[in-house]
Amino acid sequence: MFFFLSKILSFLLSPFTYLVVLLIWMFFCRNHRRQKKILLFTIGFVFFFGNSFILDEFLRLWEVPVNESRNKNYDIGIVLSGMVMYDAKNNVSKFNGNVDRLLQTLPKLKKKEINHLVVSGGSGDLYHPENKEAHILKSYLLSIGWNIDNFTFESESRNTFENAKYTVEVLKKKHIDLKEKKILLITSSGHMRRSIACFEKQGIKVDYLCSNRHSGPRKFEFQHCFIPNMSAFNGWSHLLHEVAGYTVYKLTGKI
């Protein structure tokens, strides 16, 4: 139930949803004075949520700074999914921007800075629950010749809380004493705050390595500061999703 409610919440928190509502309202409004007010509000709405500079400032407040892990070597690395889908028609794996989580991790494995890696992630797709990300990533790594002998794939989790819960359960089944291990958590900068809290709730202390941070150095270019763009709308959707997710987890005792 919580999984389905989270999908509904994501829809309700998307600025796109309210932009469509405003446009429909304006189209059907027969009061010209009110219609003009709706138009002005919509223009302001588009400028605010489509403005990359404004988005970056809010992201800067939320995102966990990119952190070089305190220890050089770790017994266990945990990388959270949310980066890939399987295209059955073309028989290919399709990655999104969160693949940076994996790209930041593989060099550390290659340099033996991480001894064992857990890839945590099931299916976040309501319509294709069989497409589990951990399995897709396992197949992909095997297809490029990567040795996965020191990997564990956790494929049942559908959200961040379950990432932490099921990862801990899988490792305990291997009789690994997590309190004696140095653990590195790898996920997106905007997702890290909630992720750390979930693992700490499970009694696990982690160092962290942030990937794909969206708010870099401040930019004052004209286009960045004044020209609305649709990627900023997407950025707001992700930010609001994370803030709301953290709040809901806090209220429901998950963190």
pLDDT at 91: 86
pTM score: 0.88
Which residues in the chain land under pLDDT 70? Answer: 1-3, 67-70
Q: What is the pLDDT of residues 183-232, one digit of tens each?
A: 999 999 999 999 999 999 999 999 999 998 888 788 899 999 999 998 99
pLDDT at 67: 66
Domain ranges across the chain: 2-63+223-251, 74-211
Nearest partner of 77 among 167, 186, 150, 156, judged by Cα: 186
pLDDT at 245: 93
Architecture of the domain defined by 74-211: 3-Layer(aba) Sandwich (3.40)
pLDDT at 121: 94
pLDDT at 204: 92
